[in-house]
Amino acid sequence: MVISSYTWNLANQCFILAITVVMSVKCAEMKFKKTATHAILCTIGFVFLSAEGMMVRSHNNWLTRSLHPDTKVTLHFWLQLIGGLLGVAGTLQKSLPKEHHFRTWHGKLGLAACVFFVINCLSGALGLYSWGYRQYASLLVNDFIHNFLGLLTFVTAMLAQYSGYYTGFFNRNLKEHEAFFKYLTAAILLLTAWDPLMIFLGKLF
């Protein structure tokens, strides 16, 4: 039996919501102190909002399929912007007090996701709101670059999220939910990135 794209999208929405709710509850129990603030900001920003922003333009998204294409583009931009800013805020909240934070794979991936987000955000904003930029760079070229950067940002952010499950904070506070977080995060990464990846490869070849 073949599972429809709409079913996969619905499952992905459930996975994203489940990760966000469980992380929110656990961080609330820790009163959002120290690393708990970092964890919830990055989860809401880089997982919940960024994933929803990636999927908002998909034809298989039952939440947005009835919206006008221009509305989808605007919604995509703002979900990605707010999600990225929350992710950056969470990364800075954790890294600024600790000079050695970026020595770990988790820290390095988080920093890379922040850098990619800033570059991609500028690319998206210029393509959406700057007529002069549109005249300078063709829409096709800008869209190609933006799609690539968007995929790179999302994949890097999700890998940073996944590597966070090997940190001391996670092992001390969420170890009993390890399989839940790891499997769902891997599923979210695959299901969310699939359509944008196919679109990007279609433009590439």
Q: Express each pLDDT in 77-107 by its tens digit.
A: 899 999 999 999 999 888 776 655 567 889 8
- The domain spanning residue 145 has which CATH number? 1.20.120.1770
CA gap 83, 89 in Å, rounded: 10
CB 72 within 8 A of CB 64: yes
Please compute, for residue 65, the number of CA atoms within 13 A of its CA located in the half-sphere on the CB side: 8
**Which pLDDT belongs to residue 99?**
56
**Which pLDDT belongs to residue 142?**
60
**Which pLDDT belongs to residue 145?**
78
For the cut 90, the answer to whether the pLDDT of residue 177 exceeds it is yes
Quote the domain boundaries for residue 175: 5-204
Q: What is the DSSP track for the chain?
A: -PPPHHHHHHHHHHHHHHHHHHHHHHHHHTTT-THHHHHHHHIIIIIIIHHHHHHTT-TT-TTTTTS-HHHHHHHHHHHHHHHHHHHHHHHHHHHTT-TTGGGSHHHHHHHHHHHHHHHHHHHHHHHHH-HHHHHHS-HHHHHHHHHHHHHHHHHHHHHHHHHGGGSHHHHHHSGGGHHHHHHHHHHHHHHHHHHHHHHHHHHH-
In terms of pLDDT, which residue wins out, 196 or 191?
A: 191
Of the chain, the percentage scoring pLDDT greater than 70 comes to 86
pTM: 0.88
Angle, CA 112 vertex, CA 108 and CA 117 arms, to 5°: 150
Domain count, the chain: 1
Q: Express each pLDDT in 96-138 by its tens digit.
A: 766 555 678 898 999 999 999 998 888 777 666 655 555 555 5
